[in-house]
Chain A
Amino acid sequence: MPSVSFEYIVKRFGAITVLDGLNLAVEDGDFLVLLGPSGCGKTTLLNLLAGLLDVSSGRIMIGDRDVTELDPKDRDLAMVFQSYALYPTKTVEGNLRFGLSARKLPKAEADQRVQWASELLQLTPLMRRKPSELSGGQRQRVAIGRALVKHADVLLFDEPLSNLDAKLRTEMRMEIKKLHETLKPTVVYVTHDQIEAMTLATKIAVMNKGEIQQFGTPDQVYEHPETLFVASFIGSPAMNLINGQFTVTDGGPGVVFADQTRIDLTEYTFASLPRDGDAIAVGMRPEHFVHDPVEALPGHTAFDLTVGMVERTGSDALISLDFADDQLFVRAEPDRAAKTRPGDRVQVHYPTAKLNLFDAKKGRRL
């Protein structure tokens, strides 16, 4: 299974430039998720890789083959579409076979692959049915089967789960993950759903407005967002981002908020040190807060704040605290939340090492 790389990709539609000099490379066997809001160019990038669109300039490599000029069917790719795109007049078996018959495989080999895929995806009892006689999840499995039988080097998925209901989506997500673990293909998977991205990916590329904002493992992207966009896009509930001013005093670097609260930043590892007085944004994940510590924790910043609102979100609860003319959302155990009323004062501590600081103007991590 080969690696895939995009080199200086530019894509224009008439006067609109959707991708402008994009670079991205994945290793073989990687599960790359392209994650970003709608309209950011994910599908465009995937279609360029598939050969369904032509690049305006740049080069696409699969393994050591330059595929930029190749026809889609010669690129050794298989794709699963958002709308499944099953052939409505063919049976499930016909759908699986269509891609094989074009490849001039020996009959025995084709039979064997179809059987393998139908068993793997539990399609065997459905082989004689037409797509219109299948449920959404079954159609999705046929679409995946149609891609798998081709034994393609690289599998492409364009939002394959977004037409399914929540329960099926979780199931299919696990099936896709299992498939990747058994077959180890190189996968490029497009989604705007961060949970899909976090659970499936070995590498995530977060995109916004045609640019790769960050490329890394799910952990890196989650714990070390490189830009303000990534910080605000990844995570549900979202990261708290509070604007403040960078100050250097005798005690070392720190940040001062609108209400004059100060957080000491001595323990924070800066990638680049801002200047005194720079506007910065401080990011805190709701789940990193520690509640009601018995004593001051080393390396933590202590907050003593008023509760604004308590919200139960299923297995968790979210408490909003009034802080610096803003709201600080803090994850809490449901038991703890049940004891909390709006107007209470609570003690929370946040580990300084897990702060995320950004240059408020440029949006880059500090």
Chain B
Amino acid sequence: MTDATIMYPRKPKRIKGRSIAVLVFLTMAALFFCVPLYVLIVTSFKEMDQIREGAMFSLPTTWTLEPWRFAWFEACSGLNCSGLRAGFWNSVVILVPSLIASIALSIVTGYALALWDVKWAGPFLFLLFLCAFVPFQIIMYPLIRLTVTMGIYGSITAIAFVHSVLAMPILTLIFRNYYKDIPPELIKAAIMDSGSFWRIFVEIILPMSGNILIVVLILQITSIWNDYLIGVTFGGLGTKPMTVHLANMVTVSTGTISYNVNMAAALLTAIPPLVIYFVLGKFFVQGIAAGAIKG
């Protein structure tokens, strides 16, 4: 053994051409995201006078919170000039039922497909897999007709419904793959002990799902909050989410464009998913890494 260590000394680590290229690429990629973000943040704290001078990258000469206040309380979306507030609350009201409905639907389907003897489970999975790749635009019109027929078009219910339908294939596959790692003997034991689909789900399976629930929660909160198309298509006049308000605010331009207010509004809209990342981020990484279920 000692000979071996002498014969094969460890190669000293040197930064070579290839790793320099990688570093350069990563730095550029980081700048690509960071520079616009920097501009966004500094602009939102500037006064319009300074913005008109140009010099995008300079720091604010006088820091002001006025654009933020204005965006939240007074900015106009269409004819309604009560700021982003209304949109924020709409988004919250959309988020909660959409989140619950989409996760509830797919977690139970995934559980059934992974652990119970479901007829046609194979073809059904394949179908789900295909559905996960269908672009939303293709089924948008049928979905509009469907929600009109159901009498829910233009309501929060319609938005929650569409979010659940669209998220179901991919979320079901995620849950099903996670549950497939549960040892078959565990579910056999539970079947002999109780035999009840729901009891086993609630008492045994759900408590084992913490990691994957966090992952799915973050995915869904981000995608529902950031959604624009479903909100603008299926929401009624009073139920437009924050993203729609933001878009109206930015695009409707009478007089000068208030860049600072627009930037503040954009940041306000982006904050909630960021908060979720910071709060749940630690668990998110654990959840991705923890794949299998240990017992």
Contacts and interface: CB of A to CB of B under 8 A. Distances in A.
B194 A81 contact: no
B150 to A, nearest CB: 37
Interface residues of A, number: 28
A85 B189 CA distance: 7
Interface string B278-294: 00000000000000011
B191 interface: yes
B198 to A, nearest CB: 11
B190 A87 contact: yes
Contacts of A86: 189, 295
Given A89-B204, A89-B208, A102-B196, A52 B191 contact: yes
B160 to A, nearest CB: 30
B188 A99 contact: no
Contacts, number: 73
A102 B193 contact: yes
Contact of A73 (B183, B186, B191, B208): B191
A83 B203 CA distance: 20
B179 to A, nearest CB: 14
A253 B107 CA distance: 74
B207 interface: yes
B193 A88 contact: no
Given A88-B295, A102-B193, A102-B195, A81 B185 contact: yes
Contacts of B204: 87, 89-90, 98
Nearest to A74: B195
Contacts of A99: 192-194
B145 interface: no
A78 interface: yes
B211 to A, nearest CB: 12
Interface string B166-209: 00000000000000000101101111111110010001100110
B185 A88 contact: no
B192 A78 contact: yes
A82 interface: yes
Contacts of A52: 188, 191-192
A186 to B, nearest CB: 16
Interface in A12-31: none
Interface residues of B, number: 20
Contacts of A199: none
Contact of B194 (A73, A78, A85, A89): A73
A292 interface: no
Interface in A168-222: none
Interface in B103-152: none
Contact of A87 (B186, B191, B195, B294): B186
A281 interface: no
A272 B207 CA distance: 63
B191 A72 contact: yes
A50 B192 contact: yes
Contacts of B190: 87, 98
Given A81-B185, A82-B185, A132 B295 contact: yes
A73 B194 CA distance: 6
A77 interface: yes
Contacts of B199: 102
Contacts of A78: 192
In this complex, the member of A47, A78, A83 whose beta carbon has the largest number of chain B beta carbons within 10 angstroms is A83
Nearest to A98: B193
A81 B185 CA distance: 7
Contacts of B192: 50-52, 72-73, 77-79, 99
A131 interface: yes
A50 B196 CA distance: 16
B188 A85 contact: yes
Contacts of B207: 89-90
Contact of B189 (A47, A51, A79, A102): A79
Nearest to A143: B189
Contact of A81 (B189, B195, B203, B293): B189
A51 B195 CA distance: 11
Given A82-B185, A83-B185, A132-B294, A88 B208 contact: yes
21 contacts: A47-B188, A52-B191, A72-B195, A73-B193, A73-B194, A77-B192, A81-B188, A83-B186, A86-B295, A87-B186, A87-B189, A87-B190, A87-B203, A89-B208, A90-B203, A98-B190, A98-B193, A99-B192, A102-B196, A102-B199, A146-B193
Given A73-B195, A87-B203, 17 more contacts: A50-B192, A52-B188, A72-B192, A73-B192, A73-B193, A78-B192, A83-B186, A85-B188, A86-B189, A88-B186, A98-B190, A98-B203, A101-B194, A102-B199, A132-B294, A132-B295, A150-B193
Interface of B: 183, 185-186, 188-196, 199, 203-204, 207-208, 293-295
Closest 8 CB pairs of A and B: A88-B295, A73-B195, A99-B193, A102-B194, A89-B207, A85-B185, A85-B189, A81-B185
